[in-house]
Amino acid sequence: MVPRLSELLGPLGSKLAKLERDAKAVHLLSAGDEASFAVLLASPVRPAQLEICARAVRDLRLRGAVLVPPEGRPQIIGDPTLPDAAEQGSAPLLMRPDAFAQANAEANAALRRSVVERLAARPRERILELYCGNGNLTFAIAAAGAEVVAVDSAASSLELARRCAGSASGRIRFVQGEAIRVAEALAAEGLRFDALVVDPPRKGAPAIGSLPERLGCSRVVYVSCDPAALARDARQLRESGFEPIALQLIDMFPQTRHAEALMSFARQGSL
């Protein structure tokens, strides 16, 4: 862990000890010297829990905290949103501890560069991005002048993405919904895209099947944190007429058995 979070573990653990029975997990987030946290609860938010977290924010001089109940809107203390300025130009990404973010800033910057390189998007091309999160890849893709339709199911992530869209908003359309279902609906409407970017959770995108073909895509860039899911989905893509072009591993999780993989495909006959 980065030094700011390593030094925070002990003191924050002590402050949140009374939440042990209520909390399913605690997520930490840092940017430079700033830090915030989220508590994922097993039950609705209670006033005593809010007070415990507010005291932790105050005593440890944190930016803020988020309490996330099983249902309903999260409860926010202070301002837990932090900027991720790495290679995002004048409009840095926004992160919040209850929304997904890659764990390794340096490796994530390398991932963005590799996705842009493999995608090789040209101005005015139409790109469909599934599982876009807070726009981690979206803005880097749009910077090439491409038009991007970016899809994710998490309202908190899309809220952050829309806040930092800035001047790129005219080239990016964010859509909330289950990624594969939205893509199938777009294909059914007859919409066509030049390329597909997929960055799914660990389970992968098991229903990807012939989607790229139905969407008119000539190429696919697939980001995966699970080799088995990638192998399964890559087989589907190949059976649908997309040949693998390149495979790159990025050590997103040093000193563990996990790795981030980026695999690119091209439609047969378009090479």
Which of 53, 132, 164, 225 is flagged as catalytic?
Answer: 225
User: Rounded to whole angstroms, how far apart are CA atoms 187 and 202?
Assistant: 25
User: Rounded to whole angstroms, how far apart are CA atoms 102 and 81?
Assistant: 15
CB 251 within 8 A of CB 102: no
User: Rounded to whole angstroms, how far apart are CA atoms 131 and 179?
Assistant: 6
Strands (E) across the chain are located at 23-31, 34-41, 64-68, 75-78, 82-84, 93-95, 126-130, 147-152, 172-176, 195-198, 219-224, 242-250, 260-267
Cα within 13 Å of Cα(127), Cβ side: 32
How do beta strands 23-31 and 34-41 pair? antiparallel
Neighbours of 188 (CB within 10 A): 9
User: Rounded to whole angstroms, how far apart are CA atoms 140 and 200?
Assistant: 18
Is 132 labeled as catalytic in the residue annotation?
Answer: no
Catalytic residues: 225
